[in-house]
Structure 1
Amino acid sequence: MGDNWTDATRLTGWRRFSAQVSLPEAYRALGVPQRAGFWRKMLAFSGPGYMVAVGYMDPGNWATDIAAGSRFNYTLLSVIMLSNLMAILLQSLAVRLGVATGRDLAQACRDHYSPRVSFILWVLCEIAIVACDLAEVIGSAIALNLLFGIPLVWGVMLTALDVILLLMLQNRGFRLLEAIVISLIIVIGVCFAAEIIFSRPDVSGILRGFIPSPQIITDSGMLYIAIGILGATVMPHNLYLHSSVVQTRRYELSAAGKREAIRFATIDSTIALMLALFINGAILVVAAATFHRTGNYAVAEIQDAYKLLSPLLGVSVASTLFAIALLASGQNSTLTGTLAGQIVMEGFLNIRLRPWLRRLITRLVAIVPAIIVTALYGESGTAQLLIFSQVVLSMQLSFAVFPLVKFTSDPRKMGEFVNPAWLKWLAWTVAVIIASFNIWLLLQTFREWIG
């Protein structure tokens, strides 16, 4: 029956029937009070959005935000804001897909496309997850080097040990994972709130920075970094992750229950992504107020920012807080990357591996190139590898966005939860903009490498 594409298409709009639940060890594991008020229900649905928000503040974002602030002052704050609004839209679609159909995005692709197309999409997604893991490995290794003087090569290898920690955490329940993620986000937020106080930015300059400037389009250097911010902000694996983890709540499976779940889960992710907007904006603001204001326009690497923060601000703890936030960011991304990898492999291939084995395989693939580049080229090599990981993510993004928009705009698949006309056209517009910008970014990056 599961392979009867004709019957499945006629009955549900899908070519295959859904054969399994998403993330089975946590599926519908957390209860939702049915007769409670707004705030109790909001609390019950809170968590998945913060796990998704982690991907929007991972170490891969830091380099682009630092470069934007040091080189162009507050001008590109508008790009961070617009990228975040796009992310809010796309994550709301992931929520809608997961709740309405009971499928995560990987399962939806498998149930819609032919086996060959599904396999290609899986390979592309795995490459993106490895690239994201690479950014986490490098970010954590840099943080360990800055905080404790651990050589980068050893720091890269130490990050492989988080497999043991993750295995322990996954056995203690999904709510604990969410609590740890939220705690680490709070650490990052507190660190950068302090950095903003230390750097004393120009408030009027910040407000002007949120107004889009025509110069962003006409200045090729500014446009390049702006598109880099977009590519580093919207993460493809988050769309797979969110459409799955939203199903960890035990909401009613009636139309009213699903509608309520979509509403609360969307509020949860919107609040969480606004926090990500604050953190990404704070990185740029600190870079502008510290580096651009003092004439250090070429600061683009995390290590350089760390070395200059305390001397320029005259606050000895400024650099330490920066490194602590970086370490928290890298470890947080590790947690969510683990789940995304599991969801993608199970969803596309219907193959289940033990989470620790799945994570170990991904970690080894990311660690090997990181060790080689770090050993041969040192800090400059890790910076280039970090940029390369973001380029790979940009390449894969459209292969997640277009299926998501397609599925949620199809009334046969979504029923009464299909995107309304305005949301459908807005979503397609965002998908085309992202694809166009990423193609431009790739062409410019390859041209620069060849040159």
Structure 2
Amino acid sequence: MPPPALTLAPDWVEENTTELALTNATNTIREVPVRASEPWLRRLFAFIGPGYLVAVGYMDPGNWATDLAGGSAYGYKLLWIVMASSFMAMVLQILSAKLGIVAGMDLAQLCRKHSSPRSTICQWLLCEVAICACDIAEVIGTAIALKLLFNIPLAWGVALTVLDVLVILWLQKCGFRYLEAFVISLLSLVFICFSINLLLSQPAWTNVFSGFIPTSETVTNPGMLYLAIGIIGATVMPHNLYLHSSTVQTRKFAKTSRGKREAITFATVDIVIALCLALFVNAAILITSAAVFHAHGQHGIAELQDAYRLIGPLTGSTIASFLFALALLASGQSSSVTATMAGQIIMEGYVNLKMSPWARRLITRSLAIIPALFVTLICGEAGIGKLLLFSQVVLSLQLPFAMAPLIRFTSNKNIMGEFTNSRGMVVLAWITMVIIVCLNVILIWKALF
């Protein structure tokens, strides 16, 4: 028998009781009303939000290094990989939203319901490791941004990141819509910063458009293939699949077949728009890197600090460096918010172990700060870069344990009923998973050996 602290609660969520007052990291379930009497556009607006919380994970500091390296080394040639990875992410996130809407349970809750107690505990612990790894990336990104903007030493910057617990706590009290607005505001800041930097970099637009066309060179060139694998591998975040299946449940819609179908449509529009924004930001990072670094013979730029130091002089505008660091800070903070929410959802879904948001955040952030602070003090900036890479490897290892159950549950007629995945969607989803997992295995092998 497992220890009392980890005793699994009974399956308290049944199809007829999902409207009960269940609470988790997304605040109160069914908090945002979607009234059938309102115009279509207003109902769509009511659904806008969860997709942006998810999009944060697709442009966090962990993604920046691969985009910078791809642009500086090979110009615009890897843009089609950025686009392909975004489409893969859309497929998985649409399935995640559909699961939450139809089943009335998030991915973690369903994994617990359909797994043995021992398997549930193992899955939960793996997820917790992934959450801590994700948090390490946010800690490192935020600390680097603070150093670039305010010349705060990396060690102090790492320690200061614990203060965002106060921001999380305040947002949780204000309500879920306020939290969504905060994240969307940060994402808008990232979007604006890179839009300006994109214009300042003056890319060769003909080459930019040709970069979105797939080429065989990506496969035949070993160096290009390695970076392509890194871009795809750093894109899909496992915790986003848990997060999205929960956050869509904050919308109060009609539980009829028609209501669920409309909710799936609105959620799909939300995630497609949000991930198109993430696609723009990632593409803008790569394009800026290609136009500024590759065009000037700087083919080895992969570190965030190097990009900051060079982007201003090479563009002829000091504001470019400032905007780069500001976007990095906004990216780190927004990712920090969603990682906390995902951690709470995973903990409550797998073991029904409830914990206040500030306590959860403090524990998770402490587990991220300790290794980051140790590496910073011992190894300096070089060690921080390696720790960032290691965190992405850990996240990659968790991916199959999130993707496989998601595809399996959404293809199960007993769970999804008339909304079960079509044969074409099942094939597309499994192909997407196999590609991502295989590429991550190659990436991990190359990173370790």
Secondary structure of 1:375 counterpart? helix
- The AA in structure 1 aligned to 2:132 is V
Q: Name the CA shift for 1:34/1:207 in 2 (closer, same or farther; >3 Å).
A: same
Secondary structure of 2:174 counterpart? coil
Number of the residue aligned with 1:73: 75
8 Å contact from structure 1 (residues 22, 347) kept in 2: no
Mapped to 1, the partners of 2:124 and 2:11 lie a distance apart of 22
8 Å contact from structure 1 (residues 306, 323) kept in 2: yes
From 267, 271, 274, the equivalent of 2:273 is 271
8 Å contact from structure 2 (residues 242, 345) kept in 1: yes
Number of the residue aligned with 2:3: none
From 108, 112, 136, the equivalent of 1:110 is 112
Identity of aligned residues (%): 54
- The AA in structure 2 aligned to 1:299 is I
- The AA in structure 1 aligned to 2:444 is L
Mapped to 2, the partners of 1:132 and 1:71 lie a distance apart of 26
8 Å contact from structure 2 (residues 21, 29) kept in 1: no
Deviations 1:99-125 (A, max 9, x none): 000110100100111111111111111
- The AA in structure 1 aligned to 2:420 is V
Number of the residue aligned with 1:168: 170
Number of the residue aligned with 1:358: 360
Mapped to 1, the partners of 2:155 and 2:21 lie a distance apart of 41
Number of the residue aligned with 1:150: 152
Deviations 1:150-198 (A, max 9, x none): 0000000000011112111110100000001111111000000000110
Structure 2: runs of 5+ lacking an equivalent: 1-8
Structure 1: runs of 5+ lacking an equivalent: none
Q: Considering only aligned residues, what root-mean-square deviation do their CA atoms show, in Å? A: 1.7
Number of the residue aligned with 1:193: 195
- The Cα of 1:21 is off from its aligned counterpart by 3.9
Mapped to 2, the partners of 1:271 and 1:390 lie a distance apart of 25
8 Å contact from structure 2 (residues 11, 113) kept in 1: no
- The AA in structure 2 aligned to 1:437 is L
Secondary structure of 1:193 counterpart? helix
1:345 aligns with 2:347: yes
Number of the residue aligned with 1:119: 121
- The AA in structure 2 aligned to 1:134 is I
Number of the residue aligned with 1:57: 59
- The Cα of 1:25 is off from its aligned counterpart by 2.8
Secondary structure of 2:296 counterpart? coil
- The AA in structure 2 aligned to 1:30 is V
Mapped to 2, the partners of 1:63 and 1:320 lie a distance apart of 18
Secondary structure of 1:297 counterpart? coil
Number of the residue aligned with 1:37: 39
Mapped to 1, the partners of 2:369 and 2:206 lie a distance apart of 43
Mapped to 1, the partners of 2:312 and 2:135 lie a distance apart of 29
Number of the residue aligned with 2:180: 178
1:315 aligns with 2:327: no
8 Å contact from structure 2 (residues 21, 28) kept in 1: no
- The Cα of 1:26 is off from its aligned counterpart by 2.4
Secondary structure of 1:293 counterpart? helix
Number of the residue aligned with 1:137: 139
Number of the residue aligned with 2:5: none
8 Å contact from structure 1 (residues 22, 343) kept in 2: no
Number of the residue aligned with 1:253: 255
Mapped to 2, the partners of 1:83 and 1:186 lie a distance apart of 22
How many pairs does the alignment contain? Answer: 438
- The Cα of 1:36 is off from its aligned counterpart by 1.6
- The Cα of 1:435 is off from its aligned counterpart by 1.3
Mapped to 2, the partners of 1:354 and 1:109 lie a distance apart of 23
Tell me which moved more, 366-375 or 22-31.
22-31
Number of the residue aligned with 1:221: 223
Q: Name the CA shift for 1:33/1:3 in 2 (closer, same or farther; >3 Å).
A: closer
Number of the residue aligned with 2:6: none
8 Å contact from structure 2 (residues 68, 301) kept in 1: yes
Number of the residue aligned with 2:371: 369
Mapped to 2, the partners of 1:181 and 1:3 lie a distance apart of 34
From 313, 335, 338, the equivalent of 1:336 is 338
Number of the residue aligned with 1:92: 94
Mapped to 1, the partners of 2:156 and 2:27 lie a distance apart of 34
- The Cα of 1:22 is off from its aligned counterpart by 6.0
8 Å contact from structure 1 (residues 21, 103) kept in 2: no
Number of the residue aligned with 1:294: 296
- The Cα of 1:35 is off from its aligned counterpart by 1.3
TM-score (norm 1): 0.95
Runs of 4+ in structure 1 off by over 2 angstroms are: 2-5, 17-26
Secondary structure of 1:233 counterpart? coil
Deviations 1:7-33 (A, max 9, x none): x9xx98xxxx99984627321011112
1:430 aligns with 2:443: no
1:238 aligns with 2:240: yes
From 208, 212, 231, the equivalent of 1:206 is 208
Number of the residue aligned with 2:4: none
